[in-house]
Amino acid sequence: MSMIKIQKLIHDYIKRDDEGNAAGTVRAIDGVNLEVKPGQFIAVLGHNGSGKSTLAKHLNALLFPTEGTVWVDGMDTKDGANLWEIRREAGMVFQNPDNQIIAQVVEEDVGFGPENIGVPTEEIWKRVEESLKAVGMLEHRKKSPNRLSGGQKQRVSIAGVIAMEPKCIILDEPTAMLDPNGRKEVIKAAMKLNREKGITVILITHYMEEAIDADLIFVMDKGEIAMQGTPREIFSQVKRMKELQLDVPQVTLLAYELRKAGLHLPASILTKEELVDALLGSEPGNSETPESREQKSDASGEPDTEADKKEEEAGNGNQG
Amino acid sequence: MFDSITLGQYYQTDSALHRLDPRVKLVGTFAYLIALFVVDSWVGYLLVALFLAAMIRLSNVPFRYIVRGMKTILFLLLITVCFNLFLTPGEVIWQFGFLKMSREGLSFAIKMALRLSLLILGSSIMTLTTTPTQLTDALESLMRPLKKIHVPVHEISMMMSIALRFIPILMEETDKIMKAQIARGADFESRNLVKKIKSLVPLLVPLFISAFRRANDLAMAMEARCYRGGEGRTKMKPLVYQGRDRVAYGVLLLYFAACIATRVIF
């Protein structure tokens, strides 16, 4: 069975004029079909206004389809009886870390979700401890969230979600307001949950570097899925990505420009190591071991300051 | 500029007061406040001050940290003292132009200042040693009888705890907006009252908009985490009275009785 299945999803926002009367609609999602299998790490890319956040809210039953159907673990989101079970199974982490932490102490915030779904007290404590451990925040459990860094706050938010023992976590641009270090922390935590606990992760982002290790990438544009495939398939199409107003990882772009300049390089270079190997004339590693993936994520996570600045600006524009 | 506000801020440490059941602390604070208005003699004030000193000692919160919260009410304190000092009729002991200071005024002003300071310090002890969540839990638990007459007890306590959590965030935001406006030539330093009030508009409008946006985000985040009101909710930290809480109630009762005694005797 698929973790998430979306069929012909359409979502219209109602536009209102100054008096609050409905004055037409804006189509945010236009006929999306997709399927996510349990345990997958999915990245959804797209520029601002491409409908990716709207899509995310459908997966948690925060929005309901105008047309079409969304199934989360076989449950139809339109069916009110499934609502709370869907929200428990598909946890959601939002963009702004300050606006999703409810309690004044880290561990109480992590306990908020389990309290809501009526977990017995001792079990809550166990879950809080496990969740904080899973994101590496156990030593901060007694602290006030106001004293944490952005990356730490987001990791607390993730802990708050996994304390409800979800099968799937949706991260809606969790790193858009963070500095490069915070971004790395959060993505690493999400990755770890995916690898070690087998939780399905759907990461919505506009940082290409974060999508490199995904099993599958969906690229959204104008409410539709414009491209889908493995990171290698997606990022090798540099021109198409530029058309969709998206960047490709720095290294991929460099390889692309070098190839255009006449160098003989493969089209699907994603990491520094691969580029170095290719430039030195050796075969880029096609057969991947977990270790090589691990190293890869470390290397590719290294931020390029120039690109970061650009992306930061794009991120700021998106907060509205 | 907002660093000085400690009211409503939890100070994280471990102490006897921190471990106490929040209901005891809430009831205790009320008892303390009532006692403060019961006492009227110097002996009474001494008793209250000693009790407060003992509590501060027990709370393990640095005294300087507690006093910082006093800064915000310094102005209020000054006004009260001045009014009492010069406007209380009685035996004149000092005169300057139309300003007359009376003996009664002097003792009244000192008592008033003492009372206000003790009041603020006492209540900040509670908020410094109790997390807002504990506090609202205590409120919820103490107000539970009101549920029978359809008072939304859980909702009220949830709203309060959220409000408390967002105070520092909104403070920081105010500071940020203020700096942004100053950078664009806004004048918050003006002594002209009309100008001062006018300068608040570009501060409050963005602040309110952002507060509403935060509220919206937070509501969605809470819903996403299955929040649906108080029904069927369990507690991570349920309130259970321990031996030390009973002892604390005993101490409170003694203290309260002593305060009444000073009123009767002196």
Whether residue B54 is found in the same domain as residue B88: yes
Tally of structural domains, chain B: 2
Residue B7 sits in the same domain as residue B118: yes
Q: Are B171 and B2 in contact (CB under 8 A)?
A: yes
Q: Which residues pair with A90 in a beta bridge?
A: A168
Can you tell me the distance from the alpha carbon of A88 to that of A170, in angstroms, rounded to the nearest whole number?
A: 12
What is the pLDDT averaged over residues A310-317? 45
DSSP code for A118: T
- The DSSP string of B202-244 is HHHHHHHHHHHHHHHHHHHHHHHTT---STT---SS-----HH
User: What is the separation, in whole angstroms, between the first and last Cα of chain A?
Assistant: 37
Give residue B66's pLDDT: 85
Task: Give the residue-averaged pLDDT of B5-34.
Answer: 83
Average the pLDDT over B78-85 and give the result. Answer: 86
What is the per-residue pLDDT for A308? 45
Neighbouring C-beta atoms of residue B174, cutoff 10 Å: 17
CB within 8 Å of chain B, chain A residues 100-119: 100-105, 107-108, 111-119
Is the CA virtual torsion B211, A162, A114, A170 positive or negative? positive
Q: In what order do the strands lie in the sheet with A168-172?
A: A90-93, A168-172, A200-204, A41-45, A216-221, A224-229
Q: What is the mean pLDDT of residues B37-41?
A: 88
Query: Are B224 and B192 within one domain?
Result: yes
Residues B66 and B157 in one domain: no
Helix %, strand %, coil % of chain A (to 5): 45, 20, 35
Supply the pLDDT for residue A40: 92
Mean pLDDT of B194-211: 87
Average per-residue pLDDT in chain B?
Answer: 85
Q: Could you identify the residue written with the tokens 């858009």?
A: A176
Q: How far is A204 from chain B (nearest CA, A)?
A: 16
Residue A140's pLDDT is: 92
Q: How confident is the model at residue B8 (pLDDT cuts 50, 70, 90)?
A: low
Q: Which residues of A touch B233 (CB under 8 A)?
A: 115-116, 118
User: What SS3 state is found at A300?
Assistant: helix
Residue A163's pLDDT is: 93
The residue-averaged pLDDT of B255-259 equals 92
- Does the CB of B168 have a partner CB in chain A at under 8 Å? yes
pLDDT at B58 over 70: yes
Give yes or no: residues B211 and B106 share one domain: no
Average pLDDT over residues B63-77: 83
- As a whole number, mean pLDDT of residues A71-100 equals 90
Q: What is the CA radius of gyration of chain B?
A: 23
Residues in A touching B169 (Cβ below 8 Å): 98, 146
Please state the pTM of the whole predicted model: 0.73
Residues B229 and B141 in one domain: yes
Checking B247-251 for CB contacts under 8 A at 24+ apart, the result is: B248/B20, B248/B21, B248/B24, B248/B28, B249/B24, B249/B27
Distances (CA, A) of A221 to A14, A50, A144, B213: 20, 5, 39, 26
Same domain, B146 and B163: yes
- Count CB neighbours of A196 within 10 A: 9
End-to-end CA distance of chain B: 44
Residues in chain B with CB shorter than 8 Å from the CB of A119 are: 234
Please report the pLDDT score of residue B251 as a whole number.
93
Q: Are residues B243 and B229 in the same domain?
A: no
Q: What is the mean pLDDT of chain A?
A: 83
pLDDT in tens, B205-220: 999 999 999 999 999 9
Grouping H, G, I as helix, E, B as strand and the rest as coil, residue A107 is helix
How much is the average pLDDT of A284-292? 46
The pair of three-digit structure tokens given for residue A112, joined into one six-digit string: 């908020």
Q: What is the ipTM of this complex?
A: 0.77
Contact A146 B132 (CB under 8 A): no
Residue of A nearest to B209 (CA): A320
User: Does B152 lie in the same domain as B228?
Assistant: yes
Among A233-237, B195-199, B238-242, whose mean pLDDT is lowest? B195-199
Pick the more confident residue, B100 or A75.
A75
Q: Chain A contact for B15, CB < 8 A? A: no
User: Which range, of A160-164, A257-261, A276-280, B185-189, averages the lowest pLDDT?
Assistant: B185-189
- H/E segment holding residue A239: helix A238-243
Task: Report residue A284's pLDDT band, with 50, 70 and 90 as the boundaries.
Answer: very low
Q: A300 vs A237, which has greater pLDDT? A: A237
Residues B9 and B107 in one domain: yes
Domains and CATH numbers, chain A: 4-232 (3.40.50.300)
**How far is residue A252's CA from residue A269's CA, in Å, rounded to a whole number?**
5
Q: Which domain holds residue B2?
A: 1-130+239-266
* Among candidate residues A26, A92, A97, A32, the one with its CA nearest the CA of residue A59: A92
Phi and psi at residue B163, to the nearest 5°: -60, -45
Same domain, B11 and B82: yes
Mean pLDDT of A118-141: 92
For residue range B131-153, what is the model confidence (pLDDT) as tens digits?
777 888 888 889 888 888 888 88
CB–CB contact A116 B226 (8 Å): yes
Query: Would you give the DSSP letter of residue A13?
Result: E
Residue B50 has pLDDT above 70, yes or no: yes
Average pLDDT (B126-130) is 86
Can you say how many angstroms the Cα of residue B235 is from the centroid of all Cα atoms in its chain? 26
Same domain, B100 and B19: yes
CB-based contact B10 A117, cutoff 8 Å: no
> What is the spatial distance between Cα A120 and Cα A118, in angstroms, rounded to a whole number?
6
**A98 touching B, CB under 8 A?**
yes
Between A88 and B134, where is the model more confident?
Answer: A88
Q: A313 falls in which pLDDT band (50, 70, 90)?
A: very low
B19 part of contact set with chain A, CB < 8 Å: no
